[in-house]
Amino acid sequence: MNLDLFDHPDFHSNWREDLCPGAVVLRGAALEDDVRLLAEIDRIAGLVPFQYRATPGGYAMSVAMTNCGDFGWVTDKAGYRYQATSPENQQQWPAMPALFRAIAVKAAQEAGFPGFDPDACLINRYQPGAKMSLHQDKDEHDFGQPIVSVSLGLPAVFQFGGMERSDKTQRVQLTHSDIVVWGGPSRLRYHGVLPLKAGEHPLTGSYRFNLTFRKAS
Ligand code: SIN
Ligand code: FE2
């Protein structure tokens, strides 16, 4: 047996780490499907390219975004919202691949949220230095449904806080193929991502990708 395996950055057996009531990290949960997930991201980005959007206050976001599913999350001067079409080409977003949906539904179930019915998948792309400030996911209609977040590629430090922006945050290292689920009493917790450190991942090069699944409507 080669013990070096355990030092490999992508080595995981599947295990769960509870963050708070209603919030859990499922380590390595997307590992079996990583190549197929990344191929789908590539295909979707070929249809609706990644965009650097602006916050309602006019700041350019450092994370590039695209979407798939019935609804996509967008932001511009008019505010944060979900819409059924891409602002760039007014076309419907690409359909959510069956594989995406299956992974999200299974992760939600394992985290204690059976019957998750995602209709939106935001695809985030982080390059070195890209970050996401602390925020709540609250543009959805039904807070009874959880958020499922799949990390791929370079590792990042995820901040998971409380119900107020000023609450203390936990720092959680998320690596390739980890899935975080938060719902129930944790559904509206503040969270964010610290600036991505430069690196090279065998499957994604200098990027981190994140899929967040939501029930928007
Ligand atoms: C998000 O909160 O939308 C993104 C979280 C992440 O990139 O891990
Ligand atoms: Fe979020």
pLDDT per residue over 67-102, tens digit each?
A: 999 999 999 999 999 999 999 999 999 999 999 999
Domain residue spans of the chain: 5-214
Q: Whose CA is nearest to atom 6 of ligand 1?
A: 210
The pLDDT score that the predictor gives to residue 194 is 98
The pLDDT score that the predictor gives to residue 24 is 98
Which residue among 19, 80, 148, 210 has the greatest number of ligand 1 atoms within 8 angstroms of its CB, and so is best to mutate?
210
Six-digit token string for 182: 């938060």
Ligand 1 binding residues, C-beta < 6 A: 122, 124, 132, 149, 151, 158, 191, 193, 210, 212
Which chain residues have CB less than 5 Å from ligand 2, an ion? 137
Distance 160 CA to ligand 1 centre (A): 11
The answer to whether residue 5 scores a pLDDT higher than 60 is no
The answer to whether residue 7 scores a pLDDT higher than 60 is no
User: What is the per-residue burial (b if ≥16 Cβ within 10 Å, else e) of 111-144?
Assistant: bebeebebbbbbbbbbeeebbbebeebebbeeee
d(CA 64, CA 91): 19
> If you search the block for the tokens 């992760």, which residue do you land on?
107
In CATH, which of 3.30.70.260, 1.20.20.10, 2.60.120.590, 3.40.50.1820 is domain 5-214?
Answer: 2.60.120.590
The answer to whether residue 113 scores a pLDDT higher than 60 is yes
- Its pTM stands at 0.93
- Mean pLDDT check: name the lowest of 4-13, 31-40, 174-183: 4-13
DSSP-based three-state secondary structure for 80? strand
> If you search the block for the tokens 């949906």, which residue do you land on?
101
d(CA 103, CA 194): 25
Other CB atoms within 10 A of residue 46 CB: 10
Q: Whose CA is nearest to atom 3 of ligand 1?
A: 212
Q: Whose CA is nearest to atom 7 of ligand 1?
A: 210
Which residues contact residue 152 at a Cβ distance below 8 angstroms, ignoring those fewer than 6 apart? 30, 34, 37, 38, 41, 176, 177, 203, 204, 208, 209, 210, 211
**Averaged pLDDT of the chain:** 94
The pLDDT score that the predictor gives to residue 1 is 44
pLDDT per residue over 185-213, tens digit each?
A: 999 999 999 999 999 999 999 999 999 99
Length of the chain measured in residues: 217
Give the chain's largest Cα–Cα span.
57
Atom of ligand 1 nearest to the CA of 122: 3
